[in-house]
Amino acid sequence: MTRPISKSASDSLDRLRAEVERRNPAEPEFHQAAREVLQTLAPVLEARPEYAEPGLVERLVEPERQIIFRVPWQDDKGRVHVNRGFRVEFNSALGPYKGGLRFHPSVNLGIIKFLGFEQIFKNALTGLGIGGGKGGSDFDPQGRSDAEVMRFCQSFMTELYRHIGEYTDIPAGDIGVGAREIGYLFGQYRRITNRWEGGVLTGKSAGWGGSLIRPEATGYGNVLFAEAMLRARGEDLEGQTAVVSGSGNVAIHTIGKLAALGANPVTCSDSSGYVVDEKGIDVELLRQVKEVERGRVSDYAERRGGSARFVPGGRVWEVPADVALPSATQNELNAADAAALIRNGVKAVSEGANMPATPEAVDLFQEAGVAFGPGKAANAGGVAVSALEMTQNASRTSWKAERVEAELARIMADIYATCAETAERYGAPGDYVTGANIAGFERVADAMLAQGVI
């Protein structure tokens, strides 16, 4: 049964949303993330009025710490460049701040705040005792030599090191930050601190403190969440056609896991356009093109042969599919894309990236009865295995891949069950957005209440 929601609770959240937008001007992505959470919290504030008393929600939307710094570095020709670095330590009620670093020209404070805010709830849903944070820079590693990337990472860490530590804040990778960048960052941290502190960064290579299955975890976890949504409707992934956006780490492992579970993933994409491959994406060829050669998806199509065609500048969502897994970046799937997917009979959409579907697209999916898995739940596998990497580092051990993958499957099953149960409890059965937001909020809110007004 749906609980009646008082006008006072809704009005209070509306006022807070307006205040968030006033105090954080020109940060549309952060406004969007905050709005999506706040508009689902009225029922829980009605049921748990103690959450409204100590300014808890007001504290939740204000980062505990925002750090902005200059990052000067030299290119291979000796020219000096200056980028801007960020770390937003958003909430540590459940544990040390945890969240990735993104190196991309689009990075600004608003994007880092949106990512950090989402991370609070995502990390809470894992049940692993980690708080929410995010960071990065407007540096673009594309087209840069290894030596240039190293010099940038060393300069970036020369400032960042003073703000992080395995009991304080543990960065990881994100867009533009893979094992290469994590290695350079860790090396500089070790040089400055004179400590081999394995738990200070996750996403390390497996040979020196990284966890097996960490590169695969976000993509694998998202596919597991999608399958859980389908099973709730009496189906599974076997024989389903899937469209995947992106061609980075998340997309590649999403494609691989879909194929392993019997689905047919037929697309990948990058900023130049998309590929549709009727036989299913050859994940090993895609990995060679994107991860080894750092090429374009058009190179994949050219080498794949007659089954694949490249569509320059197109929208991957034009391709008919049963399941869609947006795995590139925020707001990549808009209302027109959602309408196209719905017309073509999509059954489930599961977010592998952070907030890849616009609010209008999410509304259309939910109105059409499409199962929709929000990123803060569906793509939590990556940070979950990062936390498992921290556990391995703390005990100086390395788990076998089978153990890590079993733990990932268990965590994703728990996240799905938590979202489904919470949505049911608050009168919104099948609404995984509401379930994820409220479940994450309750876990963080209880810890904040216990720790006092800080």
Instruction: Report residue 176 CA to chain centroid gap.
Output: 13
Separation of alpha carbons 137 and 140, rounded Å: 8
> Measuring CA to CA, how many Å separate 126 from each of 35, 192, 193, 387?
22, 32, 31, 9
8 Å CB contact between 249 and 218: yes
Instruction: Report residue 377 CA to chain centroid gap.
Output: 9
Separation of alpha carbons 119 and 91, rounded Å: 9
Sequence-distant (≥ 6) Cβ neighbours of residue 428 within 8 angstroms: 2, 434, 435
Separation of alpha carbons 122 and 119, rounded Å: 5
8 Å CB contact between 62 and 385: no
In Å, the largest CA–CA distance within the chain is 67
8 Å CB contact between 209 and 182: no
Structure tokens, 302? 């050219």
Report the 10 Å Cβ neighbour count for 77. Answer: 6
Residue 143, classified by CB atoms within 10 Å of its CB into exposed (0-12), middle (13-18) or buried (19+), is: exposed
Separation of alpha carbons 405 and 412, rounded Å: 11
Instruction: Report residue 293 CA to chain centroid gap.
Output: 25
Angle made by CA atoms 424, 122, 400, in degrees to the nearest 5: 110
Separation of alpha carbons 298 and 309, rounded Å: 8
Q: At 209, give phi and psi (nearest 5°).
A: 110, -5
Residue 234, classified by CB atoms within 10 Å of its CB into exposed (0-12), middle (13-18) or buried (19+), is: exposed
> Measuring CA to CA, how many Å separate 195 from each of 21, 142, 291, 391, 393?
41, 31, 31, 18, 14
Active site residues: 134
